Amino acid sequence: MIKIDALIIGAGPTGLFTAHQLKLIGLSCEVVDNLDKIGGQCIELYPDKPIYDIPAVPECTGEELTNNLIKQLEPFDINFHLNERVDEVKSQNDNWFVKTSNDKTFLTPNVIIAGGVGSFEPRKFSPKECEKFENKSIFYSIKDKKIFEGKKITIFGGGDSALDWAVELSKKSKVNLVHRRDEFRGAQSTVNKMNELVKSGKINLFTKYQLINANGSDQVQSIDIKHDDGEIINIKTDYVLGFFGLIMQLGPIANWGLNIDKKTISVDTEKFETNQKGIYAIGDICSYPGKLKLILSGFHEGALAARACFKLARPNEKYRFEFTTTSSNLLKRLGKKD
């Protein structure tokens, strides 16, 4: 069990800056995120898109913003628990007991939810039959590519993941690539490579088709795909892979007894505390009158929530407001002064 002053759920820009604020005022904290990397929506949805409304940063991409925030955290040694989703938050005496999907447990007086719009989960196929084949013959990510060797694989999607895997798996498997339109949004070089493999017969390409059915008892034996003009064809396949990007699901947060309305959590604007003492919500996931879903708002919300955490983590101390320009305490924590 990890005992800390505050646990942050979500490693997006808001969570990262809040970690900075907590460490700066002398509290310990760790961060959990369901994604396999730091950066949240910035890194998952728009790593290359420029952002123009971060104060004092005229222009930066989602990736640059993330890298700068990570750099700002360098003076502090912060533990990140990636690829883990917080599944359980329950009250234990005056603390919160938190458990992740990997069975890691935390005990802390403060839980800060900086969860964006929930956790990213792969978008799945819509036909109902697909559920029973999930993780048997239908996959949304690849852990061990060896199982596909010598098999018939059908890949759906038009982005980099779909194309990269189509190219890679075509070396040792028979690959069908199915996409809902003619254009691909993956990198041009990968699209070119894929087109060459189509020409040389290594990949069978089906465009303007979508999956309508998966057939088989225990394992998939064939699938039906439908063209925009209505034509349906049946393809024999051993495995089906879907790469439709990630969607955000509120997930287990809905079960923690918080006031939730339209996927957002109500908070006050003094501490950004929810209806549960010691649980805060900041960034895109919180709502209050006048809430703006901007990164800069998340920074403000995190700074205030961090101060509120101090009261619960250090009930016998008084929090003293200090500036980084002048406080030797803060400069020491930042590693700028011995």
Partner 1 sequence: MPKITYITSDNKVHNIDVDNGLTVMEGAVQNDIPGIDADCGGGMACATCHVYVKEDWLNKLPKKEDGEEDMLDMAFEPKQNSRLSCQLIVSEELDGLEVSIPTKQG
One-letter amino acid for residue 179 of the chain: H
Q: Which of 247, 275, 317, 328 binds partner 1 (CB under 8 A)?
A: 247
Q: Which of 2, 26, 46, 168 binds partner 1 (CB under 8 A)?
A: 46
Residue 22, SS3? helix
Is residue 226 a contact point for partner 1 (CB under 8 A)? no
Is residue 158 a contact point for partner 1 (CB under 8 A)? yes
Is residue 301 a contact point for partner 1 (CB under 8 A)? no
Is residue 157 a contact point for partner 1 (CB under 8 A)? yes
Which of positions 80-119 make contact with partner 1 (CB under 8 A)? 117
Phi, psi (degrees; rounded to nearest 5) at 69: -65, -40
Least distance to partner 1 from the beta carbon of 258, Å?
A: 18
Q: Which H or E run contains 304?
A: helix 295-313
Phi-psi region of 252 (alpha: psi -120 to 50; beta: other; left: phi over 0): alpha
CA distances from 181 to 165, 185, 207, 237, 288 (A): 18, 10, 5, 21, 41
The stretch among 17-25, 154-162, 273-281, 330-338 that binds partner 1 (CB under 8 A) is 154-162
Q: Is 242 exposed, middle or buried (0-12, 13-18, 19+ CB in 10 A)?
A: buried
Cα distance between residue 150 and residue 155, in whole Å: 15
Which of positions 199-218 make contact with partner 1 (CB under 8 A)? 210
The stretch among 131-139, 187-195, 240-248, 271-279 that binds partner 1 (CB under 8 A) is 240-248
Q: Which of 14, 21, 34, 41 binds partner 1 (CB under 8 A)?
A: 41
Q: Residue 210 or 327: which CB sits closer to partner 1?
A: 210
Is residue 293 a contact point for partner 1 (CB under 8 A)? yes
Judged by CB under 8 A, the number of residues near partner 1 is 25
One-letter amino acid for residue 319 of the chain: Y
Q: Which of 48, 77, 183, 218 binds partner 1 (CB under 8 A)?
A: 183
Is residue 123 a contact point for partner 1 (CB under 8 A)? yes
Q: Side by side, which strands form the sheet with 232-236?
A: 209-215, 222-227, 232-236
Residue 3, SS3? strand
Is residue 252 a contact point for partner 1 (CB under 8 A)? no
Which residue do the tokens 């460490």 mark? 23
What residues make contact with partner 1 under the rule CB under 8 A? 41, 45-46, 117, 123, 126, 157-159, 179-181, 183, 185, 210, 228, 244-245, 247-249, 262-263, 284, 293
